[in-house]
């Protein structure tokens, strides 16, 4: 699908995205820079992506008329969050190329299937997931209580719809496990052994329709209260042997899925007695990811550029990072003063620091924990990036 092309009926080449959040917004920006028109399907009238797109189809994600309109407008379609109904992607795929496809999004939407996939490619990827058990029924709960003491202390996670640490309860005993399962509504869950994490990292991979794969170097991520807070993206952010293993594993996971588009694979670094620790694969996101936002400012092609290239069947260039970077997430808390009152942050001190790149998502209401934007810091070397990041973090409170 050639950027900037116009068909016989006078329609410009248009790319579509299901979902109107910040990932959709940055996708739209990348597509528009190449000359594509864009269409966003999103029920929220004020969404970050809907605000900036040529077309905003304001319906539910599974609305047949909305989906039909999206397919009519667009030559290819992607998604910006994994909890879109896989059925919607399937419907769109009947008439248009959809990347990533419904089947792989379905796997990533469900921790049970996701872990089964990781386990199936562990031989090739060289990395397995944390020890776990599936709990979908009372009988399975009882069996785990009786026979899987090895998984305690552990984390009970809902199989579906979890994000940013939501839908998870930490449990120490068999009794707590039963209570937690009830609290989560008795829905399908996995109980995962609590591992001694020394770090977390993620790898962004892009795979084209022709099977070509490119990837970014692994980012090291720091979470606070289950939400990504800081991403460290520079040489030396983690031991090289682990970084290489994570990158290889992410590529083989994408290959094994027959994935098309940008995929983010998250890993734990676990203290296993070895000098650098061991790698464990945690989860994957079938889309660009918060931990890859630094690529907008620190790389010659961003994760959003690669999503555009992959879905449109354009060549996938191997990205090159031209600057070390640290990304700070800006949650709504930055907008709230000590007593919970809304107060517009004064960005001037932060923007006067060298190498700061402020990205705000156009969300009209700040809420605690809500992702409002991010700040990427680039610079000539790692030491100066770290210094500026520390100063910026101090200014943002």
Element (H or E) spanning 309, and its range? helix 303-312
Q: Are residues 16 and 76 in contact, defined by beta-carbon separation less than 8 angstroms? A: yes
Indicate whether 162 belongs to the interface with ligand ADP (CB under 6 A).
yes
Indicate whether 164 belongs to the interface with ligand ADP (CB under 6 A).
yes
Closest approach of ligand ADP to the CB of residue 344, in Å: 29
Find out whether 23 is annotated in a ligand binding site: no
Q: How many residues bind ligand ADP (CB under 6 A)?
A: 18
Residue choice 137, 163, 172, 179 for contact with ligand ADP (CB under 6 A):
163
**β 219-224/197-207 pair status:** antiparallel
Indicate whether 136 belongs to the interface with ligand ADP (CB under 6 A).
no
Please identify, using beta-carbon distances, which residue of 266 and 305 lies nearer to ligand ADP. Answer: 266
DSSP states along 245-269: HHHHHHHHHHHHHT--EEEEEEEEE
Using DSSP's 3-state secondary structure scheme, residue 199 falls into strand
Indicate whether 283 belongs to the interface with ligand ADP (CB under 6 A).
yes
The piece of 82-90, 193-201, 248-256, 320-328 that touches ligand ADP (CB under 6 A) is: 193-201
Q: Are residues 15 and 31 in contact, defined by beta-carbon separation less than 8 angstroms? A: yes
Tokens encoding 262: 């940008």
Indicate whether 114 belongs to the interface with ligand ADP (CB under 6 A).
no
- Alpha-carbon separation of residue 136 from 139, 142, 173, 186 (angstroms): 8, 11, 19, 8
Beta bridge pairs of residue 358: 375
Please identify, using beta-carbon distances, which residue of 144 and 195 lies nearer to ligand ADP. Answer: 195
User: What burial class does residue 82 get, using C-beta atoms within 10 Å of its C-beta: 0-12 exposed, 13-18 middle, 19+ buried?
Assistant: buried
Closest approach of ligand ADP to the CB of residue 22, in Å: 16
Find out whether 300 is annotated in a ligand binding site: no
Distance CA 329, CA 230 (A): 6
Binding mask 229-268 for ligand ADP (x = CB under 6 A): -------------------------------------x--
Residue choice 1, 112, 197, 367 for contact with ligand ADP (CB under 6 A):
197
Please identify, using beta-carbon distances, which residue of 113 and 164 lies nearer to ligand ADP. Answer: 164
In degrees, rounded to 5, the angle at the alpha carbon of residue 180 between the alpha carbons of residues 177 and 184 is 140
Pick the closest to residue 332 from 375, 368, 374 (CA basis): 368
Indicate whether 282 belongs to the interface with ligand ADP (CB under 6 A).
yes
Q: Are residues 72 and 64 in contact, defined by beta-carbon separation less than 8 angstroms? A: no
Find out whether 200 is annotated in a ligand binding site: yes
Closest approach of ligand ADP to the CB of residue 237, in Å: 16
Residue choice 195, 214, 249, 312 for contact with ligand ADP (CB under 6 A):
195
DSSP states along 129-166: BPPEEEE-SHHHHHHHHHH-GGG-SEEEEESBS--TTT
Indicate whether 75 belongs to the interface with ligand ADP (CB under 6 A).
no
Please identify, using beta-carbon distances, which residue of 132 and 335 lies nearer to ligand ADP. Answer: 132
Please identify, using beta-carbon distances, which residue of 223 and 386 lies nearer to ligand ADP. Answer: 223
Residues at the site binding ligand ADP, with contacts judged by CB under 6 A: 130, 155, 157, 162-165, 192-195, 197, 200, 223, 226, 266, 282-283
Per the annotation, binding residues for ATP are 111, 157, 162-168, 192-195, 200, 223, 282-283
């Amino acid at each position: 699908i050639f950027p900037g092309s116009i068909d016989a009926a006078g329609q410009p080449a248009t790319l579509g995205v299901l979902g109107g959040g910040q990932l959709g917004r940055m996708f739209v920006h990348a597509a528009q820079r190449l000359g594509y028109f864009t269409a966003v399907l999103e029920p929220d009238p004020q969404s970050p992506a809907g605000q900036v797109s040529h077309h905003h189809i304001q319906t539910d994600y599974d609305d047949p008329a909305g989906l039909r309109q999206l397919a009519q407008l667009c030559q290819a379609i992607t998604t910006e969050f994994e909890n879109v109904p896989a059925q919607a992607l399937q419907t769109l795929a009947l008439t248009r190329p959809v990347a990533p496809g419904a089947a792989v999004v379905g796997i990533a939407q469900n921790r049970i299937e996701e872990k089964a996939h990781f386990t199936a490619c562990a031989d090739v990827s060289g990395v397995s997931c944390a020890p776990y058990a599936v709990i979908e029924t009372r009988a399975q709960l009882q069996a785990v209580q009786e026979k899987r003491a090895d998984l305690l202390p552990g984390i009970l996670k809902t199989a579906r719809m979890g994000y940013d640490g939501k839908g998870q309860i930490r449990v120490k005993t068999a009794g707590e496990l039963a209570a937690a399962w009830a609290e989560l509504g008795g829905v399908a869950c996995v109980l995962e052994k609590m591992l001694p994490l020394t770090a977390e990292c993620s790898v962004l991979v892009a795979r084209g329709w022709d099977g070509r794969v490119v990837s970014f170097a692994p980012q090291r991520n720091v979470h606070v209260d289950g939400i990504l807070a800081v991403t460290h993206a520079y040489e030396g952010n983690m031991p090289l042997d682990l970084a290489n293993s994570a990158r290889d594993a992410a590529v083989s996971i994408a290959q094994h899925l027959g994935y098309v588009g940008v995929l983010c694979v998250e890993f734990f670094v676990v203290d296993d007695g070895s000098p650098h620790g061991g790698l464990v694969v945690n989860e994957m996101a079938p889309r660009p990811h918060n931990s890859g936002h630094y690529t907008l400012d620190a790389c010659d092609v961003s994760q959003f550029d690669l999503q555009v290239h992959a879905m449109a069947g354009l060549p996938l260039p191997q990205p090159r990072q031209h600057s070390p970077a640290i990304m700070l997430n800006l949650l709504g808390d930055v907008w709230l003063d000590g007593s919970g009152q809304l107060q517009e942050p004064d960005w001037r001190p932060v923007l006067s620091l060298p190498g700061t790149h402020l990205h705000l998502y156009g969300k009209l209401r700040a809420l605690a924990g809500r992702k409002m934007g991010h700040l990427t810091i680039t610079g000539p070397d790692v030491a100066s990036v770290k210094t500026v990041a520390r100063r910026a973090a101090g200014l943002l409170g």
